[in-house]
A and B are shown apart, each in its own frame.
Chain A
Amino acid sequence: MIDRTNEQWLAELTGPPDVQALALEELRGRLQRGIFYYLSRERSDLADLSSSEITQMAEDLAQDATLRVMENLDSFRGDSRFTTWATKIAVRVAISDLRRARYKDFSLDNLTADGDLLPANATGVTGTPELGPEDATERDDVMQRITAALKDALTERQYQALVAVAVQDVPLEIVAERMGTNRNALYKLLHDARRKLRTYMETQGLSTQYMMNLFQD
């Protein structure tokens, strides 16, 4: 394996076909090794896959990542080693692919403020048998006020995003795709939603400290 400088990588990846082909193959192999390591060592959710399946997955992802690197070559600023920048892109390609596979059936359709996320009967105390009657009543009251705040303070879009990300643990990337937006815009939308909710709840007498105390373990 040739140890190239950043300038050499850029020159060879955009060079004559034979030079480019060699550089591309080395880049792809390098990305494949990194992805394979990540998939096989860090992803417990892939533990059921055989080594050959992981190998094939890493190969396919490295191929996609190499294409993505080439498409974005102009955006490399030289702040890091070229291979680190390329690995960042490969990581994004790999993790995005895994997210899409895991959440392929996810839909926002059922997440409405009139739906059952914080179910209408969420005010029941069956889940907290350790609470005394007074504490349980207080928490019931707060739960009802939170449910009302979600409906009153948020738009439908903010509500769906908040529930999907905060309660259902769906990745931002997946929620953003379903909403026809991008991750950054969704992050900002959630930021605004949280701020609106905090403000609304403060006006209802539900301060941050009060809430954290009430719902601490």
Chain B
Amino acid sequence: MGIQDEQLRKLIDHIFDSHQDDVLDCDSCGCQLECLAEKVAGGASLREMWPEVEAHLMCCRDCREEWQALLCILRAESNGQLSTPEK
């Protein structure tokens, strides 16, 4: 697939496929993240708790990146993996 086709594929995917008409926007999603992340880090299913948030995270790269970062830090914390960096 050439670059032009690849660009077009990404555009079409964005318009038709990966973006459903989700009901949550970034602000609505963001204000739930800490509460949900604690539960997911503890083993709960995001899909079962709040499928709309999961749908938004599937669609929005920015929110997904922040969600994954938060989750990774919480998991590391609960596993005792956070340590003070040495200079």
Residues of A within 8 A of B (CB): 29, 32-38, 40-42, 51-52, 54-55, 58-59, 79-81, 84-85, 87-88, 91-92, 94-95, 117-119, 121-122, 124, 126-128, 143, 146, 162-163, 165-167, 169, 171-173, 183-184, 187-188, 191, 194-195, 197-198, 201, 208, 211-212, 215, 217
Q: Which residues of A contact B61 (CB under 8 A)?
A: 169, 171-172
Tally of A-B residue pairs with Cβ under 8 A?
149
CB of B86 within 8 Å of the partner chain: yes
Complex Cα gap A163–B7 (Å): 9
The interface residues of chain A, by DSSP majority, are classed as helix
27 contacts between A and B (CB under 8 A): A29-B84, A40-B85, A52-B87, A55-B87, A79-B35, A81-B38, A84-B38, A88-B66, A91-B73, A95-B65, A95-B69, A124-B4, A127-B5, A146-B11, A162-B14, A166-B11, A166-B14, A167-B14, A169-B10, A171-B61, A171-B65, A172-B60, A172-B62, A183-B62, A187-B25, A212-B12, A215-B5
Contact of A92 with B25 in the complex, beta carbons under 8 Å:
no
User: Given A54-B85, A84-B37, A188-B25, A122 and B8 touching (CB < 8 A)?
Assistant: yes
Complex Cα gap A201–B38 (Å): 42
User: Given A146-B11, A194-B15, A198-B15, A127 and B25 touching (CB < 8 A)?
Assistant: no
**Nearest A residue to B76 by beta-carbon distance?**
A37
Contact of B8 with A118 in the complex, beta carbons under 8 Å:
yes
14 other A-B residue contacts (CB within 8 Å) besides A36-B85, A84-B34, A191-B19: A33-B84, A34-B76, A35-B73, A37-B81, A37-B83, A79-B34, A84-B74, A92-B66, A95-B66, A117-B7, A122-B7, A162-B11, A166-B10, A187-B60
Q: Which residues of A contact B16 (CB under 8 A)?
A: 198, 208, 211-212
Q: Which residues of A contact B17 (CB under 8 A)?
A: 208, 212
Contact of A215 with B8 in the complex, beta carbons under 8 Å:
yes
User: Given A37-B82, A84-B34, A94 and B4 touching (CB < 8 A)?
Assistant: no
